[in-house]
Structure 1
Amino acid sequence: MVGKVLGIKDLEQFSSRRSSVYVDPECDKFFELPLFIAASSNDITTKCQCFQFSPGKEPALRSYTEIQQLLQQGKKRDVKNILRENSWPINSPIRSQLWPMLCGQHQTKQQMLDGFYWEMVHQVFGTTELSEKPIMLPAFVDATHCLPYHLTSTGRAVADRIVNVLGYDCPDITYSPVLYPITSILLHFMSEEEAYMCLAGLVGSKEKVFINQTKLQHEVTWKTVMQIAKKHTKSATSYFQRICPGLKLERIFMDWCWWILAGLPFQHLVRIMDCYFHEGIKVLYRVALVILNLFHKECQSNNEWSPDNIKNDIGNALIKFCKKIPVSPAKLLHAAFSIRGLSTQYISRIFIKTEMLLKSRSVLTSGSKQLIKSRSSDNLPTSQSQVNIQMMSHTLTIREL
C-alpha cells in the first residue's frame, strides 16, 4: 500500500496539529477524523470518508511546500488550479500553514513586526489577558450573524477580541457582517495572532476583493449577485418569481452570503475557503449560483421544497436546503468553477454600473434615509470600485476565471 499510514502515536500528533485549542473537542466527530485500526503491529488498515488509500496508488494531494514554491515563482494560476482540485480532508494539518500563506500574499502594508498584534491588543484592552467578561463588538459586526462554528467560549472570546483589534487598526471598516464568521473559521486552524494577520491581509488587499467593508459595498455586492443570477440562473430566478408573484427578488438576494456561511455544512465551507483565500469573493458568487440551481432542481422533484412549502419564506428555505445540500464539497466546487462566462471584466462591469446607479439615486433622494457616511465621501469611488476599475483598464490581460 502506497502512502504513509499513521500509527497510534502519530495519530495523536496528527489530531493535535489539526485541532485548535479554540474548538469544542466534541466536534471531532463533526470533523470526521480518519479511523485507524491496528490489527497487528504490521497490519494497519485505513478508513477515511474524505479519501481512500488504494493499493499501488497514492492520493494526488499536493503538499504545502509545493504550493509555496509555486507562489514564490509567481505561478498564481497553477496555485488556483491546485486549490480547486485538491480536496484535502477537513482535518488536514496543511491549512495551518496554507491559509496564512494564501492570505499573507494579499497584504499591502509593510511587513508587520513580531509582536505587533499583541501590542495592538494591549493598546485596545490595556492587557493581553483574555477577559472572562463579554466585550462589546464593533459597530460593523452583525450581531445576528456572529457564527461560532463549534468554537468554545474561549474561542468566541478570542474571535471577539480579534475583530475589535481589527476595527481599531482599520477605522475605515464601517459595515462588514461576514468578517466575524470568517474569523471563526480561521480559528479552527491557527492561532489568534495568525488569524488576525490573515484578516489584515484580506481587508487590505488592493488587487482582489475579499470582504466588504461598508454598507454601500455590501448592497452593491448583493445586487451584483442578483444581476448575475438573472443571466446565469435564469430558470431559477424566473421560477421563484412565478411561485411568489408579489415577491421581489431583492428580498432573496439580500441574504445571499448567508446561504453559504450560515447554511452550508462546515466541510463544504472549509473547501470553499481554500479557494476563496486565493481568488477572492468571486468564488462565493459562483457557489451562490450553484446553490440556486440545485435548489431549483430540488423544488421540482422533492415535495419538501414544493411551492406551497417555500413560497412564504424562500430565503429561509434556501438556508435550510443548504444545511443538507445533496452534493459533496468537491462536486459543489466543480459545478461552481464550470460556470462559463463569468469573467473578471464582466463581474467588474456589473459591479461598477450598480454602484453608480445606487450613488445617483442617493443624490436624487438626499432627503430620504441614506447610508451613514460623510457627505464628502458620497461621490468618491470605494476601494472595491477602484479595484474593479483597475481590472477593467487591463482588459487585454484578463482571462476567464
Structure 2
Amino acid sequence: MDPPGYNCFVDKDKMDASIQDLGPKELNCTELQELKQLARQGYWAQSHTLRGKVYQRLIRDIPCRTVTPDASVYSDIVGKIVGKHSSSSLPLPEFVDNTQVPTYCLNTRGEGAVRKILLCIANQFPDISFCPALPAVVALLLHYSIDEAECFEKACRILSCNDPTKKLIDQSFLAFESSCMTFGDLVNKYCQAAHKLMVAVSEDVLQVYSDWQRWLFGELPLNYFARVFDVFLVEGYKVLYRVALAILKFFHKVRAGQPLESDNVKQDIRMFVKDIAKTVSPEKLLEKAFAIRLFSRKEIQLLQMANEKALRQKGITVKQKSLCT
C-alpha cells in the first residue's frame, strides 16, 4: 500500500497518529441520499487521498455567487498582502475575534499559511464582519489541499454559497449571536436535563451556549472535527447543531452528579471537548447526534429568523468593543 500523499504543510507523524490511513478508495456515488449515508458512516474518513478528492468535489459543487475569488486571485494578491512579514508574525483579521488558529496536524509552515490565507480572504470579503469559525475551517482544508491557493479557493467557495437553503458559516455578529440563541432554544427543548444542569451551575446560561461553535471549530480534535466537516459539507448547518447537542448530552452524562472541575462551566466544557476521546469515539458522537429525533431545517430557520428579529429590535447587530473579554 502506498503511503498517503501529505502536502508540505502537514506534520506526517502527527497526522499518522491522529487519523489512520487505510489507503485509497474510490467514490462513485452521485445520489445525495447515498452520499449522506456514506458521509455519516465515514466512508472516506480513513483515506487521506480520498477525503481530499471528496472535499474538492463537494466544495466545487457549492452554488456560489458569480464573482467568487479562485486560486489565481490568491496567487495575484498574496505577495502584496503579506509583504515582507514572516508568516508566523502575521496579524489575524479582526473578524476572527481573537480566535486562536487550531494547529491540528499542521507544521510551522502550515500554521503560517493559514494566517496568509485568512488575510487574503479578508482582503476579498470586506463584508465579512464576524467569523470566528473560519480559522478552523481554513486549517482543516489546508490538510487536504495541494497548496495555499487551492485552500483559499475552497474557503472562498464555502463563504460565497448563495443557496438560501444551504446556510454554511455565520459571517456577521448578528448571524452568530442569533445562532447562539437558536442553539439555546434547541437545548432547552431537546436536551432538558443538560439545560437544567447549565442553569444550575452558570450565572448566565446564554454565555455558556455562546461557546457552542467554539466546541466544534477549535476544541474538537482533528479526527472528530474532520468527521463532522465531512457530513457538514453534504448536509449543511443543521449538522453543527446536532453535534453540539450531542456533545452537551455526553458532557451531562459524564458530569451529572459530579462536582464541576472549576467554577467556570464554559471552561469545563471546553476541556471536555478537547479530551473527548476519553469519553466517546467519533462514530459514537455522530451516532448520538443523528439519533436525536428533533428539528427540521425549517424549524431552525424559523428560530434563527425570530432571534435575528429580536436582536435587531434591541439594536444588537455588531459586537460591542469591550475592555474585558
1:77 to 20, 33, 37: 33
Query: 2:128 is matched by which residue type in structure 1?
Result: I
What is the match of residue 166 of structure 1? 121
Correspondence for 2:323: none
In the other structure, the counterpart of 2:100 is 145
Aligned to 1:226: 184
How much is the aligned-residue C-alpha RMSD, in angstroms?
A: 2.5
Shift in CA distance, 308/288, structure 1 to aligned 2, threshold 3 Å:
closer
C-alpha distance in 2 between matches for 1:90 and 1:130? 37
Name the amino acid aligned to 1:158. A
Provide, for residues 281-309 of structure 1, a one-character-per-residue CA deviation record: whole Å limited to 9, x for no partner. 211110010011111111136xxxx1353
- Point out where structure 1 has 5 or more consecutive residues left out of the alignment: 1-5, 35-47, 52-60, 363-368, 374-401
Question: What secondary structure is seen at the aligned counterpart in 1 of 2:217?
Answer: helix
Q: Could you tell me how far 1:62 is from its partner in structure 2?
A: 6.7
Partner deviation per Cα, 1:262-284 (whole Å, 9 max, x = no partner): 33222111111111122222111
TM-score of the two chains, using structure 1 as the length reference: 0.72
Deviation string 1:9-42 (CA, Å, 9 cap, x unpaired) is x2xxx32x1x2311223314422546xxxxxxxx
Give the aligned partner of residue 134 of structure 1. 89
Q: Aligned to 2:158, what secondary structure does the other structure show? A: helix
Q: What residue is the counterpart of 1:31 in the other structure? A: 18
Aligned residue-pair number? 314
Residue equivalent to 1:353: 306
Q: Aligned in 2, Cα 1:166/1:187: closer, same or farther, shift over 3 Å?
A: same
Q: Which amino acid aligns with 2:259?
A: P
What's the secondary structure of 1:94's corresponding residue?
helix
Q: 1:107, CA displacement in angstroms?
A: 4.1
For 1:216, what is the secondary structure of its paired residue? helix
1:117 equivalent to 2:74? Answer yes
8 Å CA contact retained: 2:87, 2:116 = no
Superposition deviation, residue 99 in structure 1: 0.7
Greater alpha carbon shift after TM alignment, 195-204 vs 116-125: 116-125
Contact 1:225 1:285 in 2 (8 A): yes
Partner of 1:296: 252
Give the alignment of 1:117-266 within 5 angstroms.
Answer: 117-125=74-82, 131=86, 134-190=89-145, 191-207=147-163, 208-242=166-200, 244=201, 247-266=203-222
- % of aligned pairs identical? 25
1:141 and 1:180 in contact (8 A); partners too: yes
Q: CA deviation at 1:114?
A: 6.3
- Find the aligned partners of 2:299 and 2:70 in 1 and give their Cα distance: 39
**Higher Cα radius of gyration:** 1
Change (3 A) 1:114 1:136: closer
Structural mapping, 1:86-97, within 5 Å:
86-97=42-53
Q: Distance in 2 between matches of 1:114 and 1:163?
A: 14
| SS across alignment from 1:140 | helix
C-alpha contact (below 8 Å) 1:31/1:91 kept by paired residues: no
- Displacement of 1:197 in angstroms is 1.3
How far apart, CA to CA, are the structure 2 residues paired with 1:188 and 1:130?
A: 23
Q: Is 1:331 matched up with 2:278? A: no
Which residue, 286, 297, 309 being the options, matches 2:261?
309
Q: How does 1:363-378 map to 2 (within 5 A)?
A: 371=318
Separation of aligned partners in 1, 2:60 and 2:296: 25
Structure 2's unaligned 5+ residue stretches are 321-325
CA shift for structure 1 position 87: 4.1
Counterpart of 2:10, as a letter, is V
Amino acid across the alignment from 1:254: S
Counterparts of 1:331 and 1:268 in 2: how far apart (Å)? 10
* Separation in 2, partners of 1:140, 1:187: 20
Q: Deviations over 1:299-349 (max 9, x none)?
A: 136xxxx13535x11111111112232221112112111222210110000
8 Å CA contact 1:173, 1:213 repeated in 2: yes
